[in-house]
Structure 1
Amino acid sequence: MTDRQTRNVLFITADQWRGDALSAAGHPAVRTPNLDRLAAAGVRFARHFSNASPCGPSRASLLTGMYPHNHRSIRNGTPLDRRFTTLALEARRAGHAPALFGYTDTSADPRGLAPLDPALSTYEGVCPGFDPVCLMTESLEPWGEHLRARGHAVPHPVKGIWSAPGDTPHGPAVYAAADSDTAFLTDRALAWLEGRGGKPWFAHVSYVRPHPPWIAPAPWHAVVDPADCPPPARASEPEVEGAVHPWLGWRLGSFPTDPGHWLEDRPLDPRALDPAALARVQATYYGLIAEVDHHIGRLLDWLERSGEAENTLVIVTADHGELMGDHWMFGKEGWFDSCFHVPLIVRAPGVQASGVAGRVVEGFTEHVDLMPTILDTVGLTPPRQCDGRSLRPWLTGETPADWRRHAVFAFDFRDVAGGAPETALGLRPEQCSLTVLRGERYKYVHFPALPALLYDLAEDPRELRPLRDGLGTAALMRDHAQALLSWRLENEERTLTHIRLGEGGMITGS
């Protein structure tokens, strides 16, 4: 694989896609033939983890290469400090003008902006450096224009078109599959690619699906049989689940009591669904995944037809996962693998020639690795701010001897506007967070002011029974706490730490 071959970058993200939801990974219900063929031609990273949840913090790590404790954009709406460079800004140094189809959920740094600047009224800003060719924020207005042109009566806001009668979001949607938001975004990306005229390009295609509401157009609403959906990982009752930890007890007690439609202002409560209804929701979720896979296949087909496949770095991942009924919850809150384990498939130029096509990597990889990987592959040196490491050795058949032995991810649950968890749990905002050290066998969850948790994943892979007090558990928790502290000390913000000023001028270290 040479830098000369990597003319183009196709960086695809989906929203809220569980890491186990690939047919290549053996899921019994999911149908992902296009991602399976991409994995067969590239490398699948089986233990890839988002560094944060929800969307904004996760994408901040993706697009800066930094851990949340360094970039500090830790909630949707928390500004991203403008002093940090981004994947898109760095790509411009290689002559690319990265095009955005979808969204990045980058909250603008308010310093220096006028009080009435529209950038302050949304958390869905554009990450610096991207050209928003088709910006699909929560308003979904470009898609709304498309639907109106097709004769649909489109409400305001556009997402109201997803409202369905009844108490369960089964679908089908009122629009045809060819007019879905996923189809629309793919159409726009393909039209742009056709117009490149053979010039090098960089495209970030950011799909909103399978993010709720879980309403899919025909036939995607019915491609998965609910009977094939595995049961959720959860305790026998919500009260039993909530007794595991104070945060979990508070969270399970703060859902609404009606079933809802999974619009953002009326979330669906899994406690109100019987097993059959929950399986129907799961099937719709997996149907939306099948739809996204279908449209990713259209992009892959275009690469083949245009002759650009062997000149293009293709990366497919998700911002974070989805509980899908696990632990009696929907969404992406907490410390569970289903919130943070996401798919990652990479096909780089020269992979097939190097003999590693179809490789499955079991080493722990993280979102912070993707910015260094992309920059490295297009011939750029990643900036010093990046906390991750390039995955390029894995793509050329190597197995780095000094690779990480854990994945680390974080969730900040403060509520700046309402203070609900702070009040309920008696915490200061700075205490409303958790960090996870996730290893091969053990998983350690650290809170600043709440009890820590330790899971033995060999004995409890569904994360239902944290280890209780005892000499052995205490020693394991001490060791994991020390390991997490050491990790933190090794991964502090480093932009200027390699520079020393003094007599004789500036000295720059490695």
Structure 2
Amino acid sequence: MSNNKDAKPNILLITVDQMRFDCLSIAGHPVVETPNLDELARTGVRFDRAYSATPTCVPARAAIFTGQSQVHHGRVGYQDRVPWRYEHTMPGEFAKAGYHTQCVGKMHVYPARNLMGFHNVVLHDGYLHHNRNKYSIPVREHYDEVDDYLHWLRQQVPGADLTDLGLDCNSSTVARPWHLPEKLHPTNWVVSESIDFLRRRDPDKPFFLWMSFVRPHSPLDPPQAYLDLYKDADIPEPPVGDWALQSDPALDGLSPYTSKGIVPKQRLRHAMAAYYALITHIDHQIGRFLQVLAEYGEKENTVILFTSDHGELMGDHHLFRKSLPYEGSSRVPFIVNDPGNRLGLETGKVVQEVVEMRDIMPTLLDAAGVSVPDSVDGCSVLALAADTAGKEAVPAWRAYLHGEHSQGMQSNHWLTDGKEKYIWYSQTGEEQFFLLTDDPKELHNAALDEACLDRIAYWRSILIRELEGREEGYSDGGRLIAGRKPLTVLSHIRG
């Protein structure tokens, strides 16, 4: 493809799984090293208030694929094995517009080999429990049958499996180094397969490539060289708010699968080091791909968007993993880069407006000059990223984001404008309120502060309106109603 600004650009979407918003050197993290992502942000635009409205893998990816809010794509919690049937998907729209479309890595859809509009998928979803149970699923859906990385790995190392390290995919506080040559790590594999796509693509078409990494989601298994980068680092302890649990009588923190609890300090520090190491490993592999993209003469023709599907609490407030509304779980990195300067972005700009997973599809279609379907709820972020010097002001943006996650007694709804955050736990009625501008680490729950009562009432009224008419019955239009049965999937897609 020639460097022709009148031709449609290639589109490269890079996603990682479970990366916190603050794990970028350019965002001021005191330890983690991300030189290639820093360069994408330095020469592009970084969105500092990006969120995942329903912060676990399945609903977040539904938002990416469809551009819809959780109310419309219907996945308001984590539930596997619910068929994905959407009329309009991001890869489908690119394919209809003449793009050669490819995904490498994680999809996390059902059935697992559902193309979702891609011409081809080279699949590695990571370890998914429902795909490993040979006695409860059809053989055609078993992991051994559907996962391309595992087939490839066993060609390199006969008998190899994803469990060889003794780490589960939800071992949130247990870490050890990758035991095989680095080139066999799934992070390297995603990049190697993506490079191979550059070789095999149709040269007469622009491409849409989704390079989708499973890490830094556990297992926490970085190659030794990356773990060594952090073994002596001065890693700050996670923040613990005045509202967080202060003791752990059930010893939940000793479980390798814990989502809450007080973890022994040495174990937690090692887990944090491994988590940062996985991020730096991904960063270097992204650099590897961008170098090859330049060698193929396509970097200047490619618009790049980098993000994560959700975050990782990693000990914040003695909490781990995701699904909760706190910043470590719900807030993500989000970078747009345009090496060919097609889009008129303001280099180095940091945007404060609240953006979300649903905005990815319209943004990338907009960058390619492809029509956005009416089914899409999100908006293109390109106007926010544009160089506005001497031009009209940025158009009005969403005033707030409504997020939620169904998860038993921890089921929650939340609202934020990036400056304040209101949280309502739907099963207990507990409210939390954080002044993010002054308290970015959510150390103080201001829900009972006299000075904040009017603001809490304001946000509560918005949530009452957002939930009115929802099938769970959380709102009657005048008040919030706690204790209603939470749903993970709304009825319009449950079938």
Q: Same fold (TM over 0.5)?
A: yes
Q: CA deviation at 1:42?
A: 1.5
Bigger mean CA offset, 137-146 vs 177-186: 137-146
Q: CA deviation at 1:129?
A: 0.5
Q: How far apart, CA to CA, are the structure 2 residues paired with 1:490 and 1:294?
A: 47
Q: The residue matched to 2:353 in structure 1 has which SS? A: strand
Q: The residue matched to 2:322 in structure 1 has which SS? A: coil
Matches within 5 A, 1:133-148: 133-137=121-125, 138=127, 139=143, 141-148=147-154
1:231 aligned partner = 237
Provide Cα deviations, 1:331-387, integer angstroms capped at 9, x if missing partner. 003110111111111113643884622222122111111110111111122111111
Pick aligned residue for 1:188 from 182, 186, 193? 193
Q: How far apart, CA to CA, are the structure 2 residues paired with 1:334 and 1:253?
A: 22
Q: The residue matched to 1:208 in structure 2 has which SS? A: strand
Q: CA deviation at 1:145?
A: 3.3
Q: How far apart, CA to CA, are the structure 1 residues paired with 2:241 and 2:223?
A: 33
Bigger mean CA offset, 350-359 vs 370-379: 350-359
Letter in 2 for 1:271: G
1:469 aligned partner = 448
Cα distance change of structure 1 residues 397 and 413 upon mapping to structure 2, 3 Å threshold: same
Q: How far apart, CA to CA, are the structure 2 residues paired with 1:143 and 1:308?
A: 26
Q: How far apart, CA to CA, are the structure 2 residues paired with 1:489 and 1:400?
A: 31
Pick aligned residue for 2:404 from 403, 410, 413? 410
Contact 2:91 2:208 in 1 (8 A): no
Q: How far apart, CA to CA, are the structure 2 residues paired with 1:128 and 1:312?
A: 22
2:30 aligned partner = 28
Q: The residue matched to 1:410 in structure 2 has which SS? A: strand
Q: The residue matched to 2:455 in structure 1 has which SS? A: helix
Contact 1:41 1:351 in 2 (8 A): no
Cα distance change of structure 1 residues 238 and 153 upon mapping to structure 2, 3 Å threshold: farther
Cα distance change of structure 1 residues 258 and 168 upon mapping to structure 2, 3 Å threshold: same
Q: How far apart, CA to CA, are the structure 2 residues paired with 1:346 and 1:491?
A: 34
Q: How far apart, CA to CA, are the structure 2 residues paired with 1:20 and 1:294?
A: 18
Q: How far apart, CA to CA, are the structure 1 residues paired with 2:468 and 2:186?
A: 43
2:44 aligned partner = 42
Q: The residue matched to 2:91 in structure 1 has which SS? A: helix
Pick aligned residue for 2:458 from 472, 476, 479? 479
TM-score (norm 1): 0.79
Q: The residue matched to 1:278 in structure 2 has which SS? A: helix
1:455 aligned partner = 434
Cα distance change of structure 1 residues 487 and 401 upon mapping to structure 2, 3 Å threshold: farther
State whether structure 2 residue 378 is matched by structure 1 residue 388: yes
Contact 2:55 2:323 in 1 (8 A): yes
Letter in 1 for 2:456: M
Q: The residue matched to 2:366 in structure 1 has which SS? A: helix
Letter in 2 for 1:19: F
Q: How far apart, CA to CA, are the structure 2 residues paired with 1:382 and 1:433?
A: 32
Q: How far apart, CA to CA, are the structure 2 residues paired with 1:279 and 1:181?
A: 24
Q: CA deviation at 1:31?
A: 0.8
Q: How far apart, CA to CA, are the structure 2 residues paired with 1:17 and 1:146?
A: 26
Q: How far apart, CA to CA, are the structure 2 residues paired with 1:67 and 1:167?
A: 28
Letter in 2 for 1:384: D
Structure 1 residue runs of 5 or longer lacking an equivalent are: 108-118, 242-251, 261-266, 415-420, 422-431, 493-510
Q: How far apart, CA to CA, are the structure 2 residues paired with 1:170 and 1:384?
A: 45
Matches within 5 A, 1:479-498: 479-485=458-464
Q: The residue matched to 1:219 in structure 2 has which SS? A: helix
Letter in 2 for 1:315: L
Contact 1:51 1:367 in 2 (8 A): yes
1:331 aligned partner = 321
State whether structure 2 residue 285 is matched by structure 1 residue 279: no
State whether structure 2 residue 426 is matched by structure 1 residue 438: no
Q: CA deviation at 1:7?
A: 2.7
Q: CA deviation at 1:174?
A: 1.1
1:103 aligned partner = 106
Contact 1:73 1:80 in 2 (8 A): no
Q: CA deviation at 1:390?
A: 0.6
Letter in 1 for 2:458: D
Cα distance change of structure 1 residues 470 and 228 upon mapping to structure 2, 3 Å threshold: closer
Contact 2:49 2:418 in 1 (8 A): no
Q: CA deviation at 1:236?
A: 7.8
1:246 aligned partner = none
1:308 aligned partner = 298
Q: CA deviation at 1:238?
A: 6.3
Q: How far apart, CA to CA, are the structure 2 residues paired with 1:371 and 1:222?
A: 38
Cα distance change of structure 1 residues 164 and 466 upon mapping to structure 2, 3 Å threshold: closer
Cα distance change of structure 1 residues 223 and 134 upon mapping to structure 2, 3 Å threshold: same
1:174 aligned partner = 179
Q: The residue matched to 1:52 in structure 2 has which SS? A: coil
Contact 1:86 1:129 in 2 (8 A): yes
Cα distance change of structure 1 residues 253 and 238 upon mapping to structure 2, 3 Å threshold: farther
Q: The residue matched to 1:356 in structure 2 has which SS? A: coil
Contact 2:49 2:352 in 1 (8 A): yes
TM-score (norm 2): 0.81
Q: CA deviation at 1:79?
A: 2.9
RMSD: 3.1
Cα distance change of structure 1 residues 94 and 170 upon mapping to structure 2, 3 Å threshold: same
Cα distance change of structure 1 residues 168 and 437 upon mapping to structure 2, 3 Å threshold: closer
Q: The residue matched to 1:330 in structure 2 has which SS? A: coil
Structure 2 residue runs of 5 or longer lacking an equivalent are: 128-142, 472-495
Pick aligned residue for 1:62 from 51, 61, 64? 64
Q: CA deviation at 1:255?
A: 8.0
Q: How far apart, CA to CA, are the structure 2 residues paired with 1:490 and 1:41?
A: 45
